Amino acid sequence: MAESGFKKWIITITVIIASLLELIDTTIVNVSIPQIQGNLGATITDAAWVVTGYSVANVIILPMSGWLSSFFGRKNYFLTSIIVFTIASFLCGNSSSLTELVAFRILQGLAGGGLLSTSQAILIETWPAEQLGTATALFGLGAVVGPTIGPTIGGYITDHAAWRWIFYVNIPVGILASIFTVMYVKVTSRDGKDKPIDWWGIALLAITVGSLQTILEKGEDEDWFATTYIIVLSCTAVIGLLLFLWRELSTDHPIVNFKIMRHRSFSAGMVTSFILGVGLYGSQFVFPVFCQNLLGFSAQQTGEILLPGGLFTIMMMPFVGIMLNKGLPAQFMAVGGMILFFIFSWFMSGSTLVSGTGDFFWPLAIRGIGLSLLFVPLTTIAIGGLKGAEIGQGTGLNNMMRQLGGSFGIAGLNTLIHIRVATHRNNLLSNINPYNNYFTDRYNALLHGFMAKGKSFFDASKMAYAAIDGTVNKQSTLLSYNDAYIVVGWVMLAAIPLIFLAPIVKGQKAVADTH
């Protein structure tokens, strides 16, 4: 039964706050890893598990969130997730060792995984069918803007306070969300309470998704299959996936209901959500690293550059919802979003070592508009044919696919950059020879410059070659990041035909079918 008036809006605010808690924490920690490392006396590799542990736990719980909502009741599960997330945030901030911090981040990730999909399911049932495009757009604010503003908030807090406050800031927000949930979110029936628990399904899901997510998070750092535990995890993920699919399709009470894949629109939405994750999180990964490693920007400066793009997303979301409510087909809007994302990538692939904040404003604005045209329509396509209990299962699987897409995107781009740096360096080094006038002019200028400062010919020559080598390294890295941008763009453009795997229906009809 849909809500109206004040109660509808207060529930909407509550679920957006809850989803923002989870999504901001996926990226807020990234910029604070060096400070955490130094404070807790850990290596950078060990400290990275603070991010990895959260991501692994998050992705494991997402596909289970529909079943957990059914077993415990949606309100009970939602409220418990908020409370556990808030407590885990305090424990993370209060950690005295890296082991404690990673353990509490895993707990935070398990609770956070329950917030995202449950928030979306509550929102779908709170708003009337004819206004659901607007509701999905409002939810999309958290899903798209959260990862964008996370580095900004994390950078500001880290620069002006201690890293522990990136966790403590969750506490008052979590308390507020808990109070609103108790007061306004309606209780739902516990449909799964008396049904057998699929313990084998839970175990196989945790093993499969946990192994896969760990591979994606750590593969590049461990040189992929050159490391024994990556090979073991890869075999475990493949075998676990086959057993998990067999188990869930053969049991009467599955932990993940794959039968909802019979809806063509949902299956198409799953694929396109995966692609959206590649573009959203992949570009979110490349840009901050590019700005900080090559252009010398601070974490806070990088976050401030990203912020206007997020504002464009915020401004566009209500418009997207209105267009869906008026019946504009979701597929047409998604195609526009894919094209805009390609334009953003094409502009960014022309970056140079002297690019400044003004050079990034419009490309990031285009990205922000593109994301608003992608998230809501693709979500509408995915959930269009789902009803009742299928909504919770569908939102969980859909969100998991977007998160996995992000993990695949980041891992793939990280590997691409690593490979392309070596390729570009070899190509550039072929020009370092006495027959190249550009090289000899540069070398002589540097040589005479160092000798004018009192260096001997031998020392000045070494310093000139070192300076040229540094330039080659920077240019190689720059070209590699530019390659990464354009690859993201082509992936998004190539995904356009996949959007039309789902039947074309008007936005209002699509969301009305969920009620």
Q: Same domain for 243 and 186?
A: no
Rounded CA gap, 280 and 60, in Å?
Answer: 20
Tokens, residue 174: 């979590």
CA max distance for the chain: 86
Q: Same domain for 46 and 177?
A: yes
Rounded CA gap, 3 and 10, in Å?
Answer: 10
Instruction: Name residue 281's amino acid.
Output: Y
Q: Same domain for 446 and 375?
A: no
Does a structural domain hold residue 90? Answer: yes
- Domain end marker among 252, 269, 293: 252
Q: Same domain for 6 and 74?
A: yes
* SS percent in the chain: helix, strand, coil, step 5: 80, 0, 20
Rounded CA gap, 25 and 150, in Å?
Answer: 7
Q: Rounded mean pLDDT of the chain?
A: 80
Q: Same domain for 90 and 136?
A: yes
Question: Residues 299, 158: contact at Cβ < 8 Å?
Answer: yes
Tens of pLDDT, residue by residue over 67-84, are 788 778 888 888 999 999
The CATH number for 291's domain is 1.20.1250.20
DSSP string, 449-512: HHHHTT--HHHHHHHHHHHHHHHHHHHHHHHHHHHHHHHHHHHHHHTHHHHTTSPP--HHHHHH
Rounded CA gap, 342 and 500, in Å?
Answer: 18
Average pLDDT rounded to a whole number, residues 142-168: 74
Does a structural domain hold residue 512? Answer: no
Between 499 and 160, whose confidence is greater? Answer: 499
- Domain end marker among 207, 230, 252: 252
DSSP string, 357-401: HHHHHHHHHHHHHHHHHHHHHHHHHHHTT--THHHHHHHHHHHHH
- pLDDT given for residue 90 in this prediction: 92
Question: Residues 380, 133: contact at Cβ < 8 Å?
Answer: yes
Average pLDDT rounded to a whole number, residues 496-504: 78
Q: Same domain for 347 and 490?
A: yes
Residue 283 pLDDT level (bands cut at 50, 70, 90): confident
Does a structural domain hold residue 510? Answer: no
Average pLDDT rounded to a whole number, residues 309-337: 82
Question: Residues 54, 25: contact at Cβ < 8 Å?
Answer: yes
Residue 441 sits in which domain range? 423-475
Rounded CA gap, 335 and 374, in Å?
Answer: 8
Q: Same domain for 438 and 498?
A: no
Instruction: Mean pLDDT check: name the lowest of 190-194, 238-242, 347-351, 440-444.
Output: 190-194
Q: Same domain for 321 and 203?
A: no
Q: Same domain for 167 and 24?
A: yes
pLDDT tops 60 at residue 507: no
CA nearest neighbour of 36 among 108, 105, 98: 98
Give how far Cα 47 sits from Cα of 56, 142, 312, Å: 15, 27, 34
Does a structural domain hold residue 178? Answer: yes
DSSP three-state, residue 432: coil
Does a structural domain hold residue 515? Answer: no
Does a structural domain hold residue 440? Answer: yes
Rounded CA gap, 348 and 357, in Å?
Answer: 12
Tens of pLDDT, residue by residue over 183-195, are 888 777 666 566 7
The count of domains in the chain is 4
Phi, psi of 78 (to 5 degrees): -65, -45
Rounded CA gap, 205 and 327, in Å?
Answer: 38
Does a structural domain hold residue 82? Answer: yes
Rounded CA gap, 261 and 242, in Å?
Answer: 17
Q: Same domain for 189 and 203?
A: no
DSSP string, 298-342: -HHHHHHHHHHHHHHHHHHHHHHHHHHHTT--HHHHHHHHHHHHH
Q: Same domain for 187 and 200?
A: no
Tens of pLDDT, residue by residue over 362-374, are 998 999 898 888 8
Rounded CA gap, 475 and 376, in Å?
Answer: 38
Does a structural domain hold residue 31? Answer: yes
Tokens, residue 214: 């760990």
DSSP string, 9-30: HHHHHHHHHHHHHHHHTTTTTG
* 419 CB-near residues (< 8 Å, 6+ apart): none
Q: Which of 133-147, 300-314, 325-339 has the highest mean pLDDT?
A: 325-339
Element (H, E) at 62: none
Q: Same domain for 222 and 364?
A: no
